Structure 1
Amino acid sequence: MIDPFSHDVLENPLPLHEKLREAGPVTYLEKYDVHALARYAEVHAALTDWQGFESGAGVGLSNFRVEEPWRPPSLLLEADPPHHDAPRAVLSKILGPRALRRLRAEWFADAERLVDEVLAEDEFDAVPALAQAFPLRVFPDAVGLGKAGRENLLPYGDHAFNAFGPVNDLVEKGQPRVAELSAWVNAQCAREALAPDGFGARIWAAADNGDLTYEQAPLVVRSLLTAGVDTTVHGIAAVLYAFATHPEQWRRLRERPGLARVAFDEAVRWESPVQTFFRTTTKDLELGGVRIAKGRKILMFLAAANRDPRRWTDPDVFDLSRDPSGHVGFGMGLHQCVGQHVARLEAEALVTALAARVERIELAGQPRRHHNNTLRAWASLPLRVHRTGGVTG
C-alpha cells in the first residue's frame, strides 16, 4: 500500500512521484483515504482555486472541520477569504520591496562575514555552518526577536511541518517538547518581547491602525516564525547541494553572479523543500476528469509537479539556463508564500558571498537526509571548497 510518509519515500520520493504522475491526473491513496495530485496542471489548478479547494480546513491530513488542531490555525496558511485577507495584506506590505531594499546591504554584509568565518576551514558541514546559521542570524533580527532561545525555532518548525502529515513516528518524536516550544514561540510573539523597529513591531502597529485585531497580531507574528525559518534553511541547503553536484552550473554562476536568484528558484523547483500540502474540497467537483465529493482531503505533491515533464523540459536537471518561474515550490495563487522574497534575498546574499570567494565546491562526504512529513531536508551536507586565489584541500 502506497505511503508517501514512509521513511523509504521520504528518503527518496522521486520514484513515487513518477509513478503517481504516470498513473493519471488524479489518483487515490487508500492508506489515507485521500485523492492525490502529482501533475503540474492539476496541482496548479487546486492551488489557485481557493473557492473549490479550501485551506481553512487545514493544509495537513487533519480536517479542522471535524478535528481539533494542535494549535490555533495559522491566519495565513490555514484560512481563506475573508479571514485571510487582512493578515495577508499587512504582511505583504511589511515584507514588501521597500523593507527588503532596506535590509539588502545589511544582509549582504552579514553573509560576507559569515562566509569568511566558515571558509577558515576547507571542509565543513554546510547545514549548520551556512544553511541554518545565516537565516537564524538575519531573519529573527529582522522580526525583532532577542538573541536568547533562537535554537528553539528549528525544532518548533520541524514539528509544525511534521504535523501536516499523519500521526507517525516523526510526529511522536516531537510531542514531548510541543508544550515547551509552543510556549517559547508564543512568548516571542508578544508585543513587549519584540524590538521596536522589526517586522513584529510593525505587525502590532497594524493592529493599532485597525488593519488587524489585537487577537490576530500575535498569530501573524507566529506565522512568520513558523514558516520563515525552516523552509529557507532547506532551500539554501538545496541550492548548495545542487552546486556541489553540478560544477558546471557553479562555474556559470561565478561568471554571472546575477544568476544567484535564478539559482535559488531553480533549486526550489528541483528539490522542492516543501514537498506536499493538503486542501479540502468545498463542494462536489471534477478535476482531471475525476469526480471528487465535497469535504474530501486532497494531497498535492508540489515536488512531483515541479518535475512534471508535461511542464518542464529535462525536469530532473538542475539548469541555470532554465526559467524556473511558475514552479509551485512556494505555492501558487492566493496562498502563495508571502515571505518568498525574503527567502530569495537571504539565499542571494549567501550564494553571492560564496561565489566571490570559492572557485570550486564539491561534496566532502555522503550527505544525510533529515526526514520530515512535509519538508525535503538535509541533516548533513559535508562540503569541500577550493577558494579563489589558489587551490585548497
Structure 2
Amino acid sequence: MTLAEHPATDVPTSDADPFGHEILEDPTPFHTALREAGPVSYLSRYGVFAFGRYAEVHAALVDWQGFQSAAGVGLSNFRTEEPWRPPSLLLEADPPRHDAPRRVLSAVLGPRALRRLREGWAADAEALVDEVLARGPEFDAVASLAEAFPLRVFPDAVGIGEAGREHLLPYGDLLFNAFGPHNDLVATGLPRMGELAGWVDAQCRRDALAPGGFGAAIWAAADRGDITHDQAPLVVRSLLSAGVDTTVHGLSAVLHAFATHPDQWARLRERPELVRVAFDEAVRWASPVQTFFRTATRDIEIAGTSVPDGRKILMFLGAANRDPRRWGADADRFDLGRDPSGHVGFGMGIHQCVGQHVARLEAESVLRALLRRVETIELTGPARRHHNNTLRAWESIPVRVRPATGR
C-alpha cells in the first residue's frame, strides 16, 4: 500500500486485486496491509473504497441509510446496471421494501421452528457420522460432513424434493461469484447459469414445496397478506440462495479449525457446552463470507475520508474479524476461550443473516455427534481451497479421526 492522490482526497491506495487467485488463496497478508494502511483505502483496480478495520466495517453495515444495499451488494451498481436476476428482497433491498419479507422470514426461521427441528437434526447428524465412521477413520471432511449434512437436512426443512439437490451448491457458487468482478471464476459458471437459475426458480413455486416446510410457510404468509404473492417465490429463493453454501463453508471452517488446533478439540470434549462458541469463533476466524459491497447514498464522511454519492464501498468482513483493535493481539488464533460475539461474519444491522440460527443448529448437531464418537481429528494431507469471489471455501479437508474409547 502506498499513499497516493485520489481525485477527491488523499487516501491510501492499492492496485492489488482482492479477487485474484493469490489473495483468494491466502487473504491474510492483504488484509493486514489493508488494516495498517488506514481506516479507509481506495482500490484503484475497481474504483471502490475499501474498509478493513472492524470499526469502519461495523459502522457501514449498520448504516443502511448512508450505505445502501438496494444498489447491489456486489461490484455491479444497480443504479446504472441491470441486475442479472431479480434482486433479493432480503439482501439487496432496504426499508421499506425490505421490511415485510424480513419479518416473514424471521418468523418462519424463528425459535419455534428450530425447536421442532432440533431433535430430528440431532438424530440425522448421529446417523451421518455413524455412516462416515463405518467406512473407516480417514475421510474428506468437506464432502462427507460439511456438504453432506446441510444437503441432507436443509432442503427437507424448506420442503423441496430430492431430485436436483446437486444443483444447490453450484448455484450458490455462481451467485456469490457474481458479486465480484467478471473474472475467470464468473466465466466458469456462466454456461450453467440458465440451467441452475431455472431449477432454483422452479423449486420456489407453491406447487413444488411440501406442506409443513419453510417454503410452504412463506406462501401461507402471502395468503395472509403479510407479503405479496409475487414476493413469496423471491423469499423462498433467498433461502435456497444463501442458506446452503454459507452453512457448508461454516461447517468446513470449524472442522478445519479443530483438525489444525487439536488442543481446542480436546477443550471442547471437556466442555461440550462451548459448542456454539466454537462455531461462532470459527466463523470469526475464517469468515466464510469474506466481502460485501454497499453504495453511498450521499457524500458521506467516514474516518475522515469523504465517499462520494453513488460510489461503491467494499467491506472486508474477514479483515474486520481479525482486526487486533477489536480482537486483541491473538486475533489470528482460533481460541474457544474467546468471546466471539460481535463478529461480522453474519453481517450486522438490519441485513444481518436471518438464517444464522439455522446454521448454528446444523453445526451444533454435527459437532455434538462428533464429540460423542471422536477423540481426535487430524489432517492427513494438505487441505485444498475452492476459490470464490465472495466466499472463503474449502474444496477438500482430508482428515483421520480416532474413535472415542468405549464405543
Range of TM-score over shorter length: over 0.9
Letter aligned with residue 118 of structure 1: V
For 1:246-261, list aligned pairs within 5 A. Answer: 246-261=261-276
Aligned twin of 2:347:
331
Q: Give the paired residue count.
A: 391
Q: Deviations over 1:181-209 (max 9, x none)?
A: 01100000000000011000000000000
Q: How much does 1:334 deviate?
A: 0.5
Aligned twin of 1:351:
367
Q: Deviations over 1:2-52 (max 9, x none)?
A: 100000000000000000000000000000000000000000000000000
Aligned twin of 2:96:
82
Q: Matches of 2:273 and 2:243 in 1, distance apart?
A: 24
Find out whether 1:11 has 2:1 as its counterpart.
no
Find out whether 1:242 has 2:257 as its counterpart.
yes
Q: Matches of 2:132 and 2:123 in 1, distance apart?
A: 14
Aligned twin of 2:79:
65
> Which of 237, 242, 267 is residue 282 of structure 2 equivalent to?
267
Q: How much does 1:364 deviate?
A: 1.1
Find out whether 1:152 has 2:172 as its counterpart.
no
Aligned twin of 1:102:
116
Q: How much does 1:390 deviate?
A: 7.3
Aligned twin of 1:42:
56
Find out whether 1:91 has 2:105 as its counterpart.
yes
Q: How much does 1:292 deviate?
A: 0.9
Q: Matches of 1:164 and 1:360 in 2, distance apart?
A: 38
Aligned twin of 2:176:
161
Letter aligned with residue 142 of structure 2: V
Structure 2: gaps of 5 or more residues: 1-14
Q: Matches of 2:76 and 2:61 in 1, distance apart?
A: 18
Matched residue SS, 2:326: coil
Matched residue SS, 2:376: strand
Q: Matches of 2:72 and 2:47 in 1, distance apart?
A: 16
Q: How much does 1:68 deviate?
A: 0.7
TM-score, normalising length from structure 1?
0.99
Letter aligned with residue 339 of structure 1: G
Matched residue SS, 1:43: helix
Aligned twin of 2:225:
210
Aligned twin of 1:184:
199
Aligned twin of 1:25:
39
Q: Matches of 1:67 and 1:112 in 2, distance apart?
A: 47
> Which of 113, 125, 132 is residue 147 of structure 2 equivalent to?
132
Matched residue SS, 1:337: coil
Q: Matches of 2:143 and 2:258 in 1, distance apart?
A: 17
Aligned twin of 1:193:
208
Q: Matches of 1:161 and 1:260 in 2, distance apart?
A: 28
> Which of 373, 388, 395 is residue 379 of structure 1 equivalent to?
395
Q: Matches of 1:256 and 1:97 in 2, distance apart?
A: 25
Letter aligned with residue 306 of structure 1: N
For 1:224-243, list aligned pairs within 5 A. Answer: 224-243=239-258
Letter aligned with residue 129 of structure 1: S
Letter aligned with residue 275 of structure 1: Q
Q: Matches of 1:317 and 1:194 in 2, distance apart?
A: 43
> Which of 135, 138, 146 is residue 123 of structure 1 equivalent to?
138
Aligned twin of 2:236:
221
TM-score, normalising length from structure 2?
0.95
> Which of 331, 335, 346 is residue 319 of structure 1 equivalent to?
335
Q: Matches of 2:327 and 2:133 in 1, distance apart?
A: 36
Letter aligned with residue 68 of structure 2: E
Structure 1: gaps of 5 or more residues: none
Q: How much does 1:389 deviate?
A: 1.6
Letter aligned with residue 296 of structure 1: R
Q: Matches of 2:150 and 2:191 in 1, distance apart?
A: 26
Q: Deviations over 1:365-393 (max 9, x none)?
A: 110000000000000000100001279xx
Q: Matches of 1:108 and 1:39 in 2, distance apart?
A: 37
Q: Matches of 2:47 and 2:106 in 1, distance apart?
A: 36
The runs of 4+ residues in structure 1 deviating greater than 6 Å are none
Q: How much does 1:130 deviate?
A: 0.2
Matched residue SS, 2:377: strand
> Which of 187, 191, 198 is residue 172 of structure 1 equivalent to?
187
Q: Matches of 1:344 and 1:126 in 2, distance apart?
A: 18
RMSD: 0.8
Letter aligned with residue 225 of structure 1: L
Matched residue SS, 1:167: coil
Q: Matches of 2:307 and 2:232 in 1, distance apart?
A: 36
